[in-house]
Structure 1
Amino acid sequence: MRVFLILCLIFVSCKDKKYLRIEEEKESGSMISLRDFSRISYTKAGDLEWKLLGKESYIFPKENRTVVYGFQFYQYDGGKYKSFLTGERGEINHTEKSVVLNGNVRLKTEEGRQLHSESLKYNLEDKTLSTDDNVVIYSEGTTIRGKGLRADRGLNKYTVLRPTAITVGGSNPLKDK
């Protein structure tokens, strides 16, 4: 009798949840499609490690990849905020342990460093960023524009492969005086 009552309570409480099916899917062939997607990871010690949010998510289990539209990724270290990464479309390759972002990609670190690009690859194993597209980096009053980037995830160490402009404190440090 108790089991029956518990099952009744579970089914009654489940009716409150509303699930929306995505009618016009942006990605064909996915086995699972979700709207207002979120996933949170904690360390073994119980500290918040990262949080992934998306407007739409398409999961391809056979290909071991996930596509997220409205990609928002928050990283934490010891439960404290470290960085925020966004893009219009993110594709997570679980086999290669990488994320490829496209469309209005933005990265902002806790120290205030910012990266803007149209695409970015994030290697989850060695925690590095790379792109061959145009980039703009804002860091401590300095703006660097160029094409191509190799960096660590916090933009503490980075190399702009082909810099085109550097501005310090609103002026051009390369200008003849």
Structure 2
Amino acid sequence: MNWLKRLLHLEEQEPVEKPEPEPPILELCPICGRRPKAKYVVRDITVDRHYWLEKAVWQLSEWCDHAAIISSFAPLFEDEDVQKWNTGCRLLRTMINVPVPECPACGEKPVVQPDSESDIPQLVCSCNELLGNEGITNVYQRKREWIRRCMALKRKQDNLKELEQLIERESE
């Protein structure tokens, strides 16, 4: 019956626009406190030479200066901008809040020294057991690498102690 009414009245059906979904919640940058802007975009994704799909995603714009640092903390497999931003912010925030541990080899707190090869400062202790910062691009990754190496060295020392205890038990 509606089609007949439209035909008789020569009414054109108004196009129905899908309402834009609610924008996602974005984390604040842990360094400067800025938040990027989200824009809803429909992309064409080519599946085959003859077929494509439309995918609606939230694209981020107006990044802060620390976007590269934040994305370096996000996992590589995440392809959505919003997920990558939020995950990177959370991981960077935890890295900032973790205190720098002492070197397990010498027991000293590290000091900050300029790196001779790059402009990024490095953490150094007197025994130089934990050096080796090649390929690290920012200070937050250097801190993460120091913590990772401290934990690995501590684990190695714990394993040696356990092995020594096992040998002592067997020799008795």
State the TM bucket, normalised to the shorter chain: under 0.3
Larger radius of gyration: 2
Structure number with the higher strand fraction is 1
Structure number with the higher helix fraction is 2
Higher RCO (C-alpha under 8 Å, 6+ residues apart)? 2
